[in-house]
Chain A
Amino acid sequence: MEKNRLRFSLALLVALALLPSPAMAYIGPGAGFAFVSSFFTLFLVLLLAVFSLLAWPFRLLLRTLKRSKTRGKSAVDKIFIVGLDGMEPSLADRYSAEGKLPNLTRLRENGSYSKLATTIPSISPVAWSSFMTGAHPGKHNIFDFLSRDTRTYLPDLSSARIGTPKRVLPLGKYRIPLSKPEITGLRKSVPFWKILGDHHIFSTILRVPLTFPPEKFNGHLLSGMCAPDLKGSQGTFFFYTTDLEKVKQREGGVMIPVEIKDGVVETHISGPENTMLKKVEEIRLPLKIRVDKERDEAHIDVAGQKFTLKKGTFSEWKKLTFPAGLGIGIGSIARFHVSQIHPHFEMYMTPLNIDPEKPALPLSNPLIYSVYLSKLLGSYITLGLANDTWALNEGALSEEAFLELTYSNHKDWERMFFNAIDKTQQGVAACVFETTDSIQHMFFRYLDPTHPANKNGQHAMSAKVIEDLYTKMDDLVGRVMQKADDKTVIIVMSDHGFRSFRRGVNLNSWLYLNGYLSLKDGKDVSNEWFQDVDWDKTKAYALGLGGLYLNQRGREARGIVEAGEESRALKKELIEKMTSLRDEEHDGAVAITNIYDRDDLPAGPYLGNAPDLVIGYNEGYRASWDGVKGKVNRVVIDDNAKAWSGDHCIDPVQVPGVFFSNRKINSTTPHIIDIAPTVLTLFGITPPPHMDGRPLMETRVGSNGGKG
């Protein structure tokens, strides 16, 4: 009897094996899970479907009631904003005239096109903050990538401050966090999508700079520029090499000398600092690489993953979890690239990106949005400054590899953007692509045959790189246009333009040589971050890409310049002298065309945090690499020989952005601060008084077709 039962069971099992689900329950944990998971999924979906159907009429009613204030006033259903960071109007004009940008040309002809005035200074975090808030920098508090600590004269990130957890539980050698680390966003004012959300108009905002930490609002947001890597930096790449000649301090990355022993490299990946330990120390992951010279490939063994990389190829994103102790792991993702196998082994690794699937810090609103995108599209770069310009600058990546990596990131952002577009029924889908900015920064020298960087370093490519970039962006715009209907407004815009960066100006050296900045006794140069500056005798110093600060008494810790008249007089004197600065090596060319006095900039509650003077460099000039980092020496102007050969941190009037739309606009001089009020107005919402910009479009539905 019992045997018959067993036989029957087994016969049933075999029979059921022909059907996928129930049989799995009988063949162990693996397939058993398949059955259980599938059943659970089906159950959940059915439950949610029923709930969704039942709740739908109520949700619809609630939404209709909540939107009653703006219903009927909205001129559009959808607005798609394509942010092409740094798209230069003169290049758009040129390629358009050559017929290489058919989609942008169609927008220009059927809708509108204009230069778009940018902010003072013309730096991405500043300009995009104005884009989202519709206000000048004095109201949003972002004046550069860097601000300064008035107590120490050291730089601070201007965008966010990441603190430590407020409450911890000491346990042996550990400090167990009982609360989340405090992350404070330093950008002020209100982005337009928050206002839209308050009116129940849904937005998806992707990779817009200065959106870290993500703020809560009725919509989805993925943070962009200024989101940190796992080490808390703005992007620290890794370069492993057996070539000791190449091991030196690198900007933006760490060089790790390695040795090949019996064909194997044994090294490590430097992870984040383990703040769970009382004695904080870096967490490291062992990294083992077997170098196969015959096959020109490397076999990599890291974090329980083994994979092979041919020379010149990138790995997929690899998950690297750093153990912090007590079973807690800190998730990150990175990609590897073997650039050389012999005579020297060389491998690049991207900065450790926060894993969007298990984010150590919030990257999105809501938190699960980054998880969702990761599950849907696979791992993607989360670092704010995503494209590794420094790795190319420092020779850790070739030009080809840099482009491959950059376009790979771009492809992911496009997929996110089109997913957002497809999900948008009414509201805004906006994405900022920094691809245009990064590639122009690194390849602009190909448009400028006399650029100093062309004399040395990598220059295997041509101006076609920039042309390809613009045609690719045009293709993207074309695909966005296909998604638009008659009640869709498309805005294609950039935050600033681009110019060649041939010569660097070290204002700190100029201040030193002209008696405004003093060094400690016996010093005639200062290392970075003003190490050897004598603050008690210093009147002014330059920090960041365009800021000059007075060493003001009562504000700076060791300030000597009195606020008021003395400061005003000093500023006037500096403006006169610095605008007279000539580049004697280049026929006495003017290096600085405009200097903006903070007191003359548009007012705002945070204007006091702005530099006292914002330097407007002439085309071809910019703050030098040394000057930006607070180094002082006797060289004021020198060649910029780095691959980073294009820039926009110059006089803002010389680098306006672009504005394309499928609708006509009512201004010949649109400004980036006009975008936010335009979006609000199109949805029938009156822009709040704190917005400085004005709407560019009529609220009535325009006659131009959505397809442009």
Chain B
Amino acid sequence: MASVINLLFGKTFDLLLYPFQSLNPWVGMTVVSLVAGLLVLAIYGHISDQEGIKAVKDKIKAHLLELRLYKDNFRATTRAQRDVLRYNAKYLYCNLKPMFVMIVPFILIIIQLDLWFGYRPLSPGESVMVKVKMDQDPTQSDLTLQASPGLEIETPPLRIESEKEIDWRVKGLEAGVQTLTVSVAGQSFTKQLVVSGKPLTKISQARVADRFLDRLMSPAEPPIPPNVPVNKVEILYAGQEMSLLGYRMHWIIAFFILSLVFGFGLKGFFGVEV
């Protein structure tokens, strides 16, 4: 199930963002926000009580107008204020159902966007921590880590028994998608590590064991093979922020604002009441 979802969402976002990899990340973010805005408008338009929302919004507007129309009538204005608050609560209630329905696809969208916008690839010569989380005592394990020629393992493994964790520091030497190979109990699997890259690069921060929620949260690489005593291999990439006219912001804020703007701009065109 998780594989199907990840495949569907992963391929969709790959297709969507592939043409914009070489461009400023804002271009890709704008396109994604537009598509997300349209998608959500379509879903919202279908699952929400459009007439109910319009009726409640009209009531809010009416009572706001009352504040203006009856400004000399203290009783009317206090009643109007009460009614605005009452209908505002109703408005929020009207949005509960679409909110709960949309939260699932939107979490999946946000996970995908985090792959593209959440992290910065290593620069050549830059080092990063690599963590392997095991489900057994790491001091008793024969686990080893090997790097492809474009990487250099700078430190011997640091085994932290209490965390069931083994850490290395790895340096990126050459640009490209490099590979780390983890060998344990006679089996091997790889974890990709991105050095340099285009302005918009998909980065898998972790490869995880085949558990449903973990797979959904780390969808870019296949699961760690079964019967391997490793839960997760994680690379602690530096976070990436969007920059606009010198102002830096988390990508989710940019996404929120842009999708809101597109949603607002297009709701009339699609006849959706929000």
Contact = CB atoms under 8 A, between A and B. Distances in A.
A375 interface: yes
Given A2-B205, A45-B84, A366-B69, A375 B58 contact: yes
B41 interface: yes
Interface string B55-70: 0011111111111111
Interface residues of B, number: 72
Contacts of A376: 58-59, 62-63, 66
A20 B93 contact: yes
Interface string B255-274: 01001101110010001101
A248 interface: no
A513 interface: no
B44 A423 contact: no
A28 B69 CA distance: 35
A3 B66 contact: no
Interface of B: 36-37, 39-41, 43-44, 48, 57-78, 81, 84-85, 88, 91-96, 98-100, 102-103, 106-107, 110-111, 114, 118-119, 205-206, 217-218, 234, 236-239, 252, 256, 259-260, 262-264, 267, 271-272, 274
Contacts of A7: 217
A28 B36 contact: yes
Interface of A: 1-3, 5-7, 9-10, 13-14, 17, 20-21, 23-34, 36-38, 41-42, 44-45, 48-49, 52, 56, 59, 63, 202, 220, 304, 366, 368-369, 371-372, 374-376, 378, 423, 425
Contacts of A21: 92
B232 to A, nearest CB: 10
A3 B88 contact: no
B18 to A, nearest CB: 23
A29 B103 contact: no
5 contacts: A14-B103, A32-B256, A41-B60, A376-B58, A376-B59
Given A24-B99, A36-B260, A372 B88 contact: no
A220 to B, nearest CB: 7
Contacts of B39: 28
Contacts of A17: 99-100, 103
A423 B99 contact: no
Nearest to A60: B74
Given A30-B44, A45-B85, A10 B98 contact: no
A147 B60 CA distance: 44
A220 B246 CA distance: 51
Chain A residues touching B, majority SS: helix
Q: Which of B48, B88, B98, B206 has the most C-beta atoms of chain A within 10 angstroms of its own C-beta?
A: B88
Contacts of B218: 3
Contacts of B96: 20
A38 to B, nearest CB: 5
A32 B88 CA distance: 14
Given A2-B118, A10-B107, A28-B263, A34 B91 contact: yes
Nearest to B82: A45
Contact of B99 (A23, A36, A374, A375): A23
A29 B118 contact: no
Contact of B71 (A2, A3, A59): A59
Contacts of A423: 70, 73, 76
Contacts of A45: 64, 67, 81, 84-85, 88
A44 B84 CA distance: 10
Contacts of B48: 30
A52 B77 contact: yes
B130 to A, nearest CB: 13
A48 B84 CA distance: 11
A666 B32 CA distance: 78
Given A41-B60, A372-B65, 18 more contacts: A6-B114, A10-B107, A10-B217, A23-B99, A26-B252, A26-B256, A27-B106, A29-B41, A30-B272, A31-B99, A32-B263, A34-B95, A37-B91, A38-B91, A45-B81, A52-B67, A52-B78, A52-B81
B68 to A, nearest CB: 7
A375 B102 contact: no
Contacts of B57: 37
Nearest to A304: B271
A3 B205 contact: yes
A695 B182 CA distance: 103
Given A5-B239, A31-B98, A33-B263, A52 B71 contact: yes
Contacts of B259: 28-29, 32
Nearest to A426: B73
6 closest cross-chain pairs (CB), A and B: A29-B263, A30-B44, A28-B40, A375-B62, A376-B62, A34-B95
B72 A1 contact: no
A34 B274 contact: yes
Contacts of A375: 58-59, 61-62, 65
A308 to B, nearest CB: 15
Contacts of A63: 72
A49 B83 CA distance: 12
A51 to B, nearest CB: 9
A337 B43 CA distance: 32
A31 B100 CA distance: 10
A427 to B, nearest CB: 10
A9 B92 contact: no
A330 B274 CA distance: 23
A5 B239 CA distance: 10
B69 A220 contact: yes
Most buried by B among A24, A26, A30, A48: A30
B67 to A, nearest CB: 5
B87 to A, nearest CB: 9
Contacts of B73: 202, 423, 425
Nearest to A366: B69
B237 A2 contact: yes
A32 B256 CA distance: 8
